[in-house]
Amino acid sequence: MDFQKICIQCMSEKPNRDGMCPFCGFDPDQYKQTSYVLPPFTVLNGKYLVGKELGSGGFGITYTALDMLLGRNAAIKEFFMLGGMHWNTFPHFPEMQERPS
C-alpha cells in the first residue's frame, strides 16, 4: 500500500497522490485544517496513520485513521480540552511528525 496516496477522509488508497478521491469524492484542495488538530499523515505509535478530523467536542477530537499494520480503518479519539490546551505548549514529539514512506 502506498501511504502517500491515501485519502484522508475515507482512508482508501487512491490511484494518484493528488486530486479528488474516486471512492468518497473528497477533494483535498478544499480541505481547511484547523490549527489545533493533528496534521493528516501524522503517524502515531508507529502504527496509526491519522486522516482528517471527524469532529470535536469539549474534551476531545476524533480523527479518521488507518491501522498501517492490519490495513484496516480506525477512528482515533484524542483527549484535548478546547480552550484549555494548546499544541504550542507541549514539547515537540518527533515520532508524531513521521510521514510514512
Q: pLDDT tens digits for 21-34?
A: 999 999 999 999 98
The pTM is what? 0.78
The segments of the chain whose pLDDT lies below 70 read 82-101
How many domains does the chain fold into? 1
Report whether 15 contacts 59 (CB < 8 A). no
76 within a domain of the structure (yes/no): yes
Report whether 65 contacts 11 (CB < 8 A). yes
100 within a domain of the structure (yes/no): no
**CATH code of the domain containing 54:** 3.30.200
101 within a domain of the structure (yes/no): no
Helix (H), strand (E) at residue 43: strand 43-44
Which residues form the domain of 31? 3-95
